[in-house]
Amino acid sequence: MTDNEIINIGDVCTYSYFEKNRSISIVEVVKELSEETVVIKFHQVIFDNSGNDFFIYLCNTGQTMNASKKYLRKIDLINRQNETIDGLISAQETLQKHIEKQNAEIERLEQENHHFADIGKMYSEVKAEVIKEFAERLKEEADGYDFCGDGVIYQMVDIDDIDNLVEEMVGEDNAT
């Protein structure tokens, strides 16, 4: 064994018979019995091909088992965790860029919304002015007075004068 393959107490390893059967589990070395044999505790059974679910039983009960070191392979948790952290950092950076794009789009839409609100306000103001102008010009067109028996004097506007005023203000094509 090389220094990298030396199995120590506390190491997390895969436990597998490799070509002999397909069982594979994640275990922790809890005690060393000899140079070739250790006591292991099962943390996860990936596949149990023991024939009687023995590895699953050991994992569920927390009991230990003696094992030959030749069936153990260290899991380099630090490198795996660093790779996971690097992946998460990359995902976070991508997400941050996406959020920044979305915020820019929200800001653009808010500005556009303000623009449309300004147009709506201007439309309302112009509409009010047009109505006021129409009323003033209608008053100018009024001619003649009608005296009613109730003592009130009414000013009269000819219907044709109203139609002509509308046509004059909006154009002949839009008057009908």
pLDDT, greater one: 135 or 66: 66
Tokens, residue 135: 């009323």
pTM of the model: 0.43
The pLDDT assigned to 159 comes to 72
**Model confidence band, residue 3 (pLDDT cutoffs 50, 70, 90):** very low
Contact 88, 96 (CB under 8 A): no
- Give the range among 33-37, 73-77, 138-142 with minimum mean pLDDT: 138-142
pLDDT, greater one: 78 or 9: 9
Query: Mean pLDDT throughout 34-47?
Result: 93
The pLDDT assigned to 59 comes to 93
The pLDDT assigned to 1 comes to 45
Greatest Cα pair distance in the chain: 128
What's the whole-number average pLDDT of the chain? Answer: 82
Q: How many CB atoms lie within 10 A of CB 17?
A: 14
Question: Residue 57: pLDDT above 70?
Answer: yes
Q: For residue 4, give every residue at least 6 positions away whose Cβ sits within 8 Å of its Cβ, in sequence order, or none.
A: 74
Distance, in Å, from the CA atom of 170 to the CA atom of 168, rounded to the nearest integer, reads: 6
Query: Mean pLDDT throughout 88-98?
Result: 90
How many helices and strands (H and E) does the chain possess?
3, 7
Query: Mean pLDDT throughout 117-144?
Result: 79
For residue 150, the 8-state DSSP code is T
Question: Residue 145: pLDDT above 70?
Answer: no
